[in-house]
Each structure stands twice: as structure tokens, then as C-alpha cells.
Structure 1
Amino acid sequence: MTYGLVKNLVNGGFADAAAGGTIDVTNPATNDAVIAQVPAMTPSDLDSVFAAAEAGAKVWKGIGHLERGRILIEASRLIRARCSELVNVIVTEMGKTQAEATGEVGKSAEFFEYYGGLARASFGDYLPDGRPNTFASQIREPVGVVLLITPWNDPLLTPARKMAPALLAGNAVVIKPATVTPVIALKLAEILHDAGVPAGVLGTVTGRGSDIGNALLSYGAIKAVSFTGSTEVGLGLQRRLAGTGVRLQTEMGGKNAVVVLEDADLDLAVPAIVAGAFAQAGQRCTATSRLIVQRGVEAEVVEKVNTAVRALRVAAGNIPGADLGPVVSREAQRDVQEHVAKAIAEGAQVLAVADAARELESGGSFVQPTFLRIARDSSIWREEVFGPVLSMIVVDTPEEAIEAVNDSSYGLSSAVFTKDLARAFQFVEGVDTGQVSVNQPTTGWDIHHPFGGFKESGSAFKEQGTEALNFYSRTKTVAIRTH
């Protein structure tokens, strides 16, 4: 399936790049077949986007919460109505399976539905005041124009996660989607336009980061930047924006660990571990990358995980029954394969692989799902792979397991499998991660759950739930003497 030239939303209309350049968008499952083109914007194209956003922010703020909420709920309806088209875009552009893409579309609709419903929630408080005849309150206002920079691994869900609270709070939004998966974000912009978002309130920008990256951050109209992507880029944004007064939210890398204690229900644990590690070809910030097993159940865990890994079916996302599709690009494929080769050279033992010989020969960006036993001094223990690779170590005690979880520069998500309530709470209190699960996978957080990591996985601002609104709004304190 091909989509032709998909244009950017600029000031209520759909526009090419002024110079006429385009970027090819390819299908990672079919030897890089071109499925669409998007405009290759240059710095000169950005002026009109941000000028429209600055004007649109004033219009949108004046519209009020209830109308903004109505538009977001209409957007959720349109997402569901266009589910089939959106699923096909995600499958062909990013490589997810049909089931994974369908789940992403449904959850994206829920973000707009949830925040649309919050339009009727309180956005301020009455404050007692010691002065005579004085009424005091705090009210919430939008910050203005916000820039969203979104990744390729959840190319619809992440824009929805950021856009919905940003728009509900009354901000104008400019979004720069990942260059390898821009089409689905532009389709979402079309839906919001159709739902009634006024001109200028939402603008999209497509282009190569090397061409427009610096220019994107140069506009004085920008009051906040929300970024999801690599730790390297996120830390660079922190340095770039430090001292500017522009608030920054970052959701970056992860090296997420699951601990299996000796009393765990392995029939519950193993499917969760395998799904967390290999679904979406391991390309999730919350994917299970490290497996920490207490020695008493090592043999049984290895046997069960080996069996599950060998049963995984690797295929193009549109093939019925596929458990995981390709990784997003040839570059990603090479990167994952190099991580595995380096680990083996450093002494890692390959415990199990899934059969992907036919797919690897097809020319698509497929990677063989791999389960390794490693040592703590292996590079793969610390480096984010972002692919279908699970690495295991063995420990003797629950305390050693917690220490191993925390032995990382990242702190996004972790999980423990145990039947002991005391051990569960010991784990919850002891791990240094922003998301913690007991007898659940590291993945799978719902839209109303505050989401974000510690250390090099993220910033202080959480996404999702009512917490997200804190980033996209500012508090004004008001005192009125009545007479």
C-alpha cells in the first residue's frame, strides 16, 4: 500500500516544502520499498509554522476548556472510525504486527478521550486568605507554544500522549515526528483538523534533523519542549535549553530489568518476560532487556524461556500469526546485530534463538530474537539495544537482585515476580526506577498512570494522567479584595 505525498498541516492548510524537496518513507519488511513521501522542510519553512502557532495559541486559549474537550473527544471518535487506515500505515511504515498496530490505534484514541473528558475537571483551587474581605485562588493557564519531538517506535501513540494534554491545557502545538515514520503523525494531524482544531493551533514539521534541528529550537515563541527519544539527544536538549526559561520534558532510554525470585509463579512470569522482551521486536522504551533470576529457579526459567523464544514467529507485520515484525530500518538491524556479536565476543552464551532464516534472506530489516546468558561486566548489560534481545544473569538473594536492577545509568521500568508480599514491597521501595511492577511485565502502562523514568531515562516531569497537565500549564495565584 502506498500513500503518495503526505503534506504538512500549516496554519489550517496542507503544504509542501517551499523548495519542493521530499523524503522517502519506506517499508522495513519489504527491502525498503517506498510507501510515501513527505515534505523535506528547510529552516525557511519554519517561520510560517511558528508564526501561525503563536497566533493560534491566543485563539485556542480563548476558546475555553469545554470546547477544547469536545474537539478532543471528536478526534478520538475519528481515530476509531479510521482505525483500519491507521493500522495499515503503522504496519507498512514502522513494521509492527497488525495486532500491535491495532492496539496502538485504540490506545491513541483513549488518550484524546481521556483528556477530552478532563475538560470538565477542576483547573484551579480556592485558597484561604488572612486579609480582610479577600478572595484568593489559583488558576491554571497554558504556557503558550509547545514543541513536541516524537520517536519512531510508537509513532501514533507518543504524539497522542503528548498532544492530548498539551491541547487540553490550551497550548498551540508544533510537532516534529521521526523522519523514518512521519506519515502516521501527519494522518493524526489530518484527524485533528477534521475534528475542528482551529488554524495555527496544530502545526506539523517534517524534515531531516541535520537540516532543521537547530532552527526548530531557535524560535522565541516556544515555551516548552517535550521530547521522546535517545538519551544522547535528550541530554543534548537539556544542555541546549538550560538557562533559556524554556521548560523541557524528556523521556529517554531504558535498560529495564525483570527479577524472578525462587517462589515466583513461572507460568505467570515467563509469558510476561517473553512478551516484554520480544513484542514490537523489542523496540519499546519499557521493553524487558535484562532478566535477573534467583539461582534456585535458574534451570526451570531457562528451559521455559528457551521454549517460548524458539516458538516465536518472525514475519512481516501483515502476516497473520506474526509475533514480531522487522526492526524499523537497516541501520537499526545492523545496530542490534552488532550488540549481539559484541556480547558473544565478550563471552555471552546463546541460550535460544527464534527461527528467522527466511526473513533474514528476504532483504527486510529483520532480526533474530535472541536469549543470552551474560556476565555483569558484559557491555550488553549496560547498553540499550532496542531490539529483540534478552540478557540473563543469576543472583543468590533478593537483595542482590535489587542491587543488580539499580546497576544501570537508566531508571525507567522494572518488575519482580514473587508470591511473598514482604519481598514485593522490599523491591518496590528498593529499586530506582520510575515505573515498578509486581507480577506484571515492565511494559503496559495505562493512559491515566503517570509515566516516566529516573536517572538518564527521563526528566522530573511525568507524562500521562493528570500529572501531564503540570508540564503543559502554569499556575497563577489571584487575590481579590471585594470591598
Structure 2
Amino acid sequence: MALQTEKKSYLNYINGNWVASSTNEVVKNSNPANIDDVVGFVQQSTKEDLNCAVSAAKNAQKSWGKLSGDSRGKYLYKVADILESRLDEVAETMTREMGKTLPEAKGETARGIAILRYYAGEGLRSVGDVIPSTDPSALMFTTRAPLGVVGVITPWNFPVAIPIWKIAPALIYGNSVVIKPATETAITCAKVLECFADAGLPAGVINMVTGAGSIIGQGLADHPDVNGITFTGSSGVGKQIGQTVLARGGKYQLEMGGKNPVIVAADADIDLAVEATISGGLRSTGQKCTATSRVIVEEDVYDEFKEKLIEKVKEIKVGNGTQDGVWMGPSASESQLNTVLYYIQKGKEEGAALLTGGNRLSGEEYDKGYFIEPTVFENVTKDMTLAQEEIFGPVLALMKAESLEGALELANDVPFGLSASIFTTNIQKMLSFINEMDAGLIRINAESAGVELQAPFGGMKQSSSHSREQGQAAKEFFTSIKTVFVK
């Protein structure tokens, strides 16, 4: 059955079939670089549709869980091959649907392929340990059991990588999946799901339902047959989901906001620090949970760093991400653009000094999109909104510190603790940063954004539920340990 109809409507995927929602209502997804470019329509689903998907997942999970890990892995290898053959199509859809540049979209899709192959290999890796028993005639060991049905709730900023880094480990460890992608990028997710469907996974093992978060996302959190929820998104929504799942005794994993600092020490390679700050803070239009937001510079090199930073920021080419030479695309939606403009105005009102940018771009190239200039403020103090709240846009806040100790104090003075980086050539400063920085991802002489797929990923404080995704750490959420005693 074809996924795309003549009307460019993309359907739910439930129990091995592409189906319209029970209401037949759809919502339009347009290109944020040109709202006249309609990418397609996605389903506005109901709890009835969700219940069908959960029922299908529950019915499929037991037989899926009984397959060998090797057998499940072969399905994931096949999905990876299919996605690889469609890399350009998926990446182009991503760029049209959420605005990131085409090279970034291709890189993200390639990362999704690598994640699938990594977890496909997990099917033949160890799942337990032999533990000595006090009884010499007994054998004691651990193994792992799948949770059952896993609900996956994903955001719009990484519409290929994040769904795959949740779906792939869920499936390889024997769970079935119901995914609710962000509506803004549901077409990209549908194209990923089509790869799973065409790989021949048994009906019901993976399902997709699109619709409002208040209905489908909350419905997954509420559903008694959904054994675990893995969520990436805003802190407010994440906490609500966590409380809902906890109240009914389910398992949850939350990856939420960040207010990520980079510290530039007096002994840093300034040119390297400038390049990494721009890449970490402004690439993907600043729409990464690990994006650099606060730039804390030791006062001895502050002026040199600022001058070089502003010079480079002014060279950034903003435009439609499908065009050659464009470095930064639009905000992903009108709502996100308005959020960024709100924070820029807030910065001005609270007394921060605007060094460059700060305006919505206009003119023939920009009038039909949600484009904003890359923006840099200075004289930002720790109590300002710019220093405390996640913006999710191309806005950098410069802060001056007298010493590394002062810089670390500023860096830790936020509710979040996702990622952080430092630029220094001093080993003692490096070690102090590693030991004292309250963040789950620590990077030395590298941008704050980004994590390798084989490494654990997650935050501290209000950035996560203190769980970790990706790498070997993923099995801690998607399985439960069984201790076995054989006499």
C-alpha cells in the first residue's frame, strides 16, 4: 500500500497498515523557509486511533520478544539498508519540513543509519552476567527481559536521529513500539517508518500515530498497556508525562531542556573557541538541546574573543536550507520564531547589550519564511532571562568572568545540566571543569553540541530524569534485569 496519496496526505501506521485517522482530519505541514511550499498533510488522530495502535503493539510484542536477538538484528540491518538507499529523499524532506540545511539533514540521516546498525549488532552481545552463589551446587546468573510496549514521543528538531535512537534499542531488546512524532516533522518520521514497514517487520511491532500532544502524547502516558515512555522535549511537558506515568506504575525516560555553557579560558586557542562556539550555538538555527547558549569568557581574552566572534557571526549566510552556500536556515515554525523574538526583546529590556543581529529578516528571499539574524548579546548577568531560560534559537549570551572559579560558578548557576564545554590548554583547568561542572555531557576543546551514538547521553538537574540514552546505557531503560538461581 502506498504511503503517500495523490493529496499528499501521510497516514498513520498501525498493525502493518497505513490508515487514515478515525476523524479523517489532517493538518498541513509547510516549509518554514517558504510557507507556500506545502510539504504534505498529516493525520489528526484520536484516542481511538491510539488504542488501536497500542492493542496491535501489545499483541505483537510477545512473539517479537521470543525471537532471538540475532533475528531482530537482521530486521534492523535491513531497515538501515533501505534508509541508506533513500537518504537523499529523507534528508530533502527534513530540510523542507523543519528548515535545517541539506548538508545537516543528510548528516543526521546518515547518523540514523549508523544507529540502526549499531543496535542491530546488539542482538549478539551479552545481556547478563554469571554471579557466584554461596551454594556451590547452584548456578546464578542475570538475564534481561523486555518492558513490553514502549511509547516513543519525539520532538521536531532531530526528526530522524531521535526517533531512531529510541526505536532501535526498544526493538532489539524485544519491545514493540508506538511512536508519536512531533506534528511539525511527522512527514519525515513517516518516511522513516516506511523503511521499517518495507523491511518486513511483523505487523504491530512498530506503529505510528500522529496528532496533538495533549491527545496522543498524553494518551500514551495514560495508557495502562504502555509499559514504558521515552520522551524528548520541553521540561514542562516532560515533567507532566513523568508524573502521569509514575502515577500508574509505568517506567519513564525524559530528556529535556538545556542552557549549555562554553567556558573560554585565558589560555584557550581563541580561533578554535570562536569556531566551535558558532557551530555549537548557531548551527541548526540554535535548535538543539545541546546548543551553546551562554559563552563565559575569562576577562583577559574577552575583548579578543568578542571581536573575532562578531566578525565571524556577521559572515553567516542565512536562507533556504536547500540552497548551496546557506549556513543557517529558518526557525522551524512561526511559533518558534516568535519565541526567539520574545527572548531577544526580553534581553534588551533587562539591560543586555545587543552586539549584532536581533531582527527578523525581510526581503524577497525571506518574506515567506521564518528567518532571523544570528544574534549576540553581551553584558548578560546571571539573573537575566537570557542567562536562565532555554531559547532554542540562534542567540548567544556573552558573560565575563574574572577566573575559572568564577566561570564555573556562572556555568552551574542554572536549573539545567545537559552539556558543557571548555576551551583550555591547561590540564588543571580541564580537570577542574570535568570534576565540578554539573552536566551529563562534558566536552573539552570541542563544541557543546553533539554526542557519539555509542556513548551514553543524558543530563543532570532538570535536563533529564537522570536516565541515559544511546550506547550500551540504552538497555537499562528498555529492559528489566532478571536474576536466575538454578539448583
Residue in structure 2 matched with residue 104 of structure 1 by the alignment: 108
Question: Within 5 A, what are the aligned runs for 1:81-160?
Answer: 81-160=85-164
On the 8 A contact 1:8/1:14 being kept in 2, the answer is yes
Superposed displacement of residue 318, structure 1:
0.5
On the 8 A contact 1:8/1:205 being kept in 2, the answer is yes
CA distance in 2, matches of 1:3, 1:311: 41
Superposed displacement of residue 348, structure 1:
1.1
Residue in structure 2 matched with residue 337 of structure 1 by the alignment: 341
Residue in structure 2 matched with residue 372 of structure 1 by the alignment: 377
Name the CA shift for 1:183/1:361 in 2 (closer, same or farther; >3 Å).
Answer: closer
Q: Give 1:410's match in structure 2, choosing from 393, 416, 429.
A: 416
On the 8 A contact 2:153/2:217 being kept in 1, the answer is no
Task: Report the secondary structure of 1:363's partner residue.
Answer: coil
Q: Give 2:285's match in structure 1, choosing from 258, 265, 281.
A: 281
Superposed displacement of residue 363, structure 1:
2.5
Count of residue correspondences: 481
On the 8 A contact 1:224/1:247 being kept in 2, the answer is yes
CA distance in 1, matches of 2:339, 2:333: 10
CA distance in 1, matches of 2:262, 2:101: 24
Superposed displacement of residue 247, structure 1:
0.8
Task: Report the secondary structure of 1:475's partner residue.
Answer: strand
Superposed displacement of residue 34, structure 1:
2.2
CA distance in 2, matches of 1:15, 1:129: 53
Superposed displacement of residue 377, structure 1:
2.5
CA distance in 2, matches of 1:198, 1:361: 46
Residue in structure 2 matched with residue 467 of structure 1 by the alignment: 473
Q: Give 1:389's match in structure 2, choosing from 383, 389, 395.
A: 395
Superposed displacement of residue 187, structure 1:
1.1
1:440 has 2:419 as partner: no
Q: Give 1:269's match in structure 2, choosing from 273, 282, 298.
A: 273
On the 8 A contact 1:254/1:384 being kept in 2, the answer is yes
Residue in structure 2 matched with residue 165 of structure 1 by the alignment: 169
1:457 has 2:463 as partner: yes
Residue in structure 2 matched with residue 315 of structure 1 by the alignment: 319
On the 8 A contact 2:221/2:241 being kept in 1, the answer is no
Superposed displacement of residue 242, structure 1:
2.3
Residue in structure 2 matched with residue 400 of structure 1 by the alignment: 406
- TM-score, normalised to structure 2, is 0.96
Superposed displacement of residue 436, structure 1:
0.6
On the 8 A contact 2:90/2:188 being kept in 1, the answer is yes
Residue in structure 1 matched with residue 14 of structure 2 by the alignment: 10
On the 8 A contact 1:315/1:359 being kept in 2, the answer is no
Residue in structure 2 matched with residue 36 of structure 1 by the alignment: 40
Letter in 2 for 1:107: R
Name the CA shift for 1:309/1:3 in 2 (closer, same or farther; >3 Å).
Answer: farther
On the 8 A contact 2:222/2:244 being kept in 1, the answer is no
Name the CA shift for 1:3/1:480 in 2 (closer, same or farther; >3 Å).
Answer: farther
Letter in 1 for 2:306: V
1:358 has 2:360 as partner: no
Q: Give 2:428's match in structure 1, choosing from 422, 428, 452.
A: 422
On the 8 A contact 2:408/2:433 being kept in 1, the answer is yes
CA distance in 1, matches of 2:89, 2:413: 43
Q: String of CA shifts for 1:363-397, please: whole Å, max 9, x gaps.
A: 21111110110222321110110000000110101
Superposed displacement of residue 243, structure 1:
3.6
Task: Report the secondary structure of 1:436's partner residue.
Answer: strand
CA distance in 2, matches of 1:361, 1:125: 58
On the 8 A contact 2:358/2:373 being kept in 1, the answer is yes
CA distance in 2, matches of 1:32, 1:402: 47
Superposed displacement of residue 3, structure 1:
7.8
CA distance in 2, matches of 1:359, 1:199: 48
More displaced, 37-46 or 124-133?
A: 124-133
Task: Report the secondary structure of 2:34's partner residue.
Answer: coil
Task: Report the secondary structure of 1:400's partner residue.
Answer: helix
Question: Which sections of structure 1, spanning at least 5 residues, go unmatched?
Answer: none
Letter in 1 for 2:156: W
1:293 has 2:297 as partner: yes
Name the CA shift for 1:349/1:359 in 2 (closer, same or farther; >3 Å).
Answer: farther
Superposed displacement of residue 189, structure 1:
1.1
CA distance in 1, matches of 2:126, 2:36: 49
Superposed displacement of residue 46, structure 1:
1.7
CA distance in 2, matches of 1:86, 1:354: 32
More displaced, 58-67 or 126-135?
A: 126-135
Name the CA shift for 1:163/1:213 in 2 (closer, same or farther; >3 Å).
Answer: closer
Letter in 2 for 1:427: F
Task: Report the secondary structure of 2:472's partner residue.
Answer: coil
On the 8 A contact 1:314/1:359 being kept in 2, the answer is no
Letter in 1 for 2:122: L
Residue in structure 2 matched with residue 75 of structure 1 by the alignment: 79
Letter in 2 for 1:102: K
Q: Give 2:224's match in structure 1, choosing from 203, 220, 235.
A: 220
Superposed displacement of residue 407, structure 1:
0.4
CA distance in 1, matches of 2:146, 2:200: 19
1:205 has 2:209 as partner: yes
Name the CA shift for 1:215/1:310 in 2 (closer, same or farther; >3 Å).
Answer: same
Task: Report the secondary structure of 1:263's partner residue.
Answer: coil
Q: String of CA shifts for 1:405-433, please: whole Å, max 9, x gaps.
A: 10000000000000001110001101100
Superposed displacement of residue 311, structure 1:
0.3
Measured on the aligned residues, the alpha-carbon RMSD in Å equals 1.5
Letter in 1 for 2:313: V
Name the CA shift for 1:387/1:63 in 2 (closer, same or farther; >3 Å).
Answer: same
Q: After the TM superposition, which parts of structure 1 deviate over 6 Å for at least 4 consecutive aligned residues?
A: none
Letter in 2 for 1:274: I
CA distance in 2, matches of 1:350, 1:110: 41
Q: String of CA shifts for 1:213-247, please: whole Å, max 9, x gaps.
A: 43332322111100000001011112222242211
- Percent identity, aligned pairs only, is 37
More displaced, 54-63 or 286-295?
A: 54-63
Residue in structure 2 matched with residue 257 of structure 1 by the alignment: 261
On the 8 A contact 1:141/1:473 being kept in 2, the answer is yes
Task: Report the secondary structure of 1:180's partner residue.
Answer: helix
